[in-house]
Amino acid sequence: MNTLFDKIWDAHVVQHVEGGPDQLYIDRLYCHEVTSPQAFDGLRARGIRCLRPEKIFCMPDHNTPTENQDKPIEDPVSKKQVDALAANTAEFGLTHYGMNDPNNGIIHVVGPEKALSLPGMTIVCGDSHTSTHGAMGAVAFGIGTSEVEMVLASQCILQQKPKSMRIRVEGELGKGVTAKDIALFLMSKLTTSGATGYFVEYAGSAVRSLSMEGRLTLCNLSIEMGARGGFIAPDETTFAYLKGREYAPKGEAWDQAVEAWKRLKSDDDAVFDREVVYDAAEIAPMITYGTNPGMGMSVDGTIPALDQIPSEGQASFSKSLNYMGFQPGEKLLGKPIDYVFLGACTNGRIEDFRAFASLVAGRQKAPGVTAWLVPGSQQVKREIEAEGLDKVLAAAGFEIRQPGCSACLAMNPDKVPAGKYCVSTSNRNFEGRQGPGSRTLLASPLTAAAAAVTGVITDPRELL
């Protein structure tokens, strides 16, 4: 009567600390340049090395420019941070995929596509979107820099075991409704703290029907409901995706691995601390109107009126709408937008570019719209070119940039100017997230594409 979460977690407990957390063994640590330098400093200060360097993979992604990656980074502060990762990984003997390396990309895109993230693993990274890797059937979660230092030093982390929650989405998704819309829908129902304290297992026929790319998008956004992580039990879709990838087991080892992975599921009588069920037919293409990802609605919906908000939340709600330049009770359809961003660890995979290209094919980018199309990795960029999507997009007035986190959090030069509206496939619409004063509307690649060709917020179903 165990949940899959229990099974994976319990199998990794080195010991239970008296009166405290579990000491959890970590199979895979990923490091990027932003949340690791102080952890490496900590190792140096203590005079220690990494316990298991072969289990650790590092790459810069947050600061990397999306143009001219063959040249040195112009921003000296960004350059220093990216250089620090290269120097630290060399000093501690860790694998490093530097900028412009054919293996580089956003850490949460690269890990799955190279099969570095496998079913049954425990995976951590100093990044809240580490939950992405849960799509492989792994227990994956974001940690702070002190915890990165713990894992670098001991391949373990001290962690209180979260509670378990199952979210089932049953039925068939409607036209133009994607994994991103499922996630935005769940956040709008559960709020950004609705799953705090829980690890989420996604299940149900609508979740099962998702491709691996879709599952990665859904698990990516678990943290935006407050969950420690979210995962999907591995199945034939998972195995088909992994087979033949660089770090996937090969030959006999593959067959044995698949046999073991097939056992990775919650028991039929498993008890979850909380369970919720939604009907896929209820979900429409979604968009956010506020400054947290839970402030979402169907793209043709209406922003709530102030009196629909509980009194203790009204100050935050009003501050949020004031920042966005929207009024309570108004619709967003038809409102002009300035920027479109396709990319990030949320929607920077090949399927996202296929979806975007399918909608803009035969149409033209609206005048006045700036569009940033940023592949999640070098591998995704190669796939875009191999499939000829770059040509379809170019004919519609769009160009493909070089991979990185880009305008998701604007640590590189891709910043949305103050007051401008950006329909973005990324994961957060916080104040200033895409640049000081920027206004972010989170949506799927299809909804972003619809806005890109019309110049206004548009229901993508009208263009499909």
Partner 1 sequence: MKQKFDIIESTCVPLPLENVDTDQIIPARFLKATTRDERFFGENLFRDWRYRPDGTPVKDFVLNNPVYGGEILVAGRNFGSGSSREHAAWAIAGYGFKVVISSFFADIHKNNELNNFVLPVVVTPEFLQELFDSIAADPKMKVRVDVPNQTVTNLATGRSESFELNAYKKYCLMNALDDIDYLLLQKDKIEAYEQQ
Q: Which residues bind partner 1 (CB under 8 A)?
A: 14-15, 17-21, 23, 25, 34-35, 37-38, 41-42, 46, 48, 51, 62-63, 77-78, 80-81, 84, 126-128, 130, 142-147, 149-150, 153-156, 158-160, 162, 192-193, 196-197, 223, 226, 228, 292, 312-313, 315-316, 319, 409-411, 418, 428, 430-433, 436-437
Angle at 343 between CA 321 and CA 414, to 5 degrees: 70
Minimum distance from residue 25 beta carbon to partner 1 (Å): 6
| Cβ count within 10 A of residue 44 | 12
Q: Beta strands of 281-417 (E only): which ranges?
A: 286-288, 296-298, 339-342, 370-373
Minimum distance from residue 198 beta carbon to partner 1 (Å): 9
Cβ contact 285:332 at 8 Å? no
The 8 Å CB, 24+ separation contacts for 114-119 are 114/245, 114/246, 114/247, 114/379, 115/242, 115/245, 115/246, 115/247, 115/248, 116/28, 116/30, 116/57, 116/246, 116/247, 117/28, 118/242, 118/247, 118/248, 118/257, 119/234, 119/238, 119/261, 119/264
Minimum distance from residue 168 beta carbon to partner 1 (Å): 23
C-beta closer to partner 1: residue 38 or 205: 38
C-beta closer to partner 1: residue 160 or 205: 160
The DSSP bridge partners found for residue 201 are 166, 231
Q: Identify which of 388, 418, 426, 384 has the alpha carbon closest to the alpha carbon of residue 401.
A: 384
Torsion of CA 204, 209, 212, 214, to 10 degrees: -80
Minimum distance from residue 75 beta carbon to partner 1 (Å): 8
Minimum distance from residue 53 beta carbon to partner 1 (Å): 14
C-beta closer to partner 1: residue 118 or 225: 225
Minimum distance from residue 313 beta carbon to partner 1 (Å): 6
C-beta closer to partner 1: residue 152 or 396: 152
- Looking up tokens 């921003």 gives 75
Minimum distance from residue 224 beta carbon to partner 1 (Å): 8
Minimum distance from residue 160 beta carbon to partner 1 (Å): 7
Q: Which two tokens stand for residue 377?
A: 């990795």
C-beta closer to partner 1: residue 195 or 373: 195
Residue 303, Cβ density class (10 Å: 0-12 exposed, 13-18 middle, ≥19 buried)? buried
Minimum distance from residue 255 beta carbon to partner 1 (Å): 23
Q: Beta strands of 104-162 (E only): which ranges?
A: 122-125, 139-142, 156-159
The DSSP bridge partners found for residue 288 are 296
Cβ contact 26:124 at 8 Å? yes
Residue 352, CA distances (Å) to 73, 155, 416 in order:
28, 34, 21
Spatial distance between the Cα atoms of 417 and 408, rounded to a whole number of angstroms? 13
End-to-end, the C-alpha distance of the chain in Å comes to 45
Minimum distance from residue 32 beta carbon to partner 1 (Å): 11
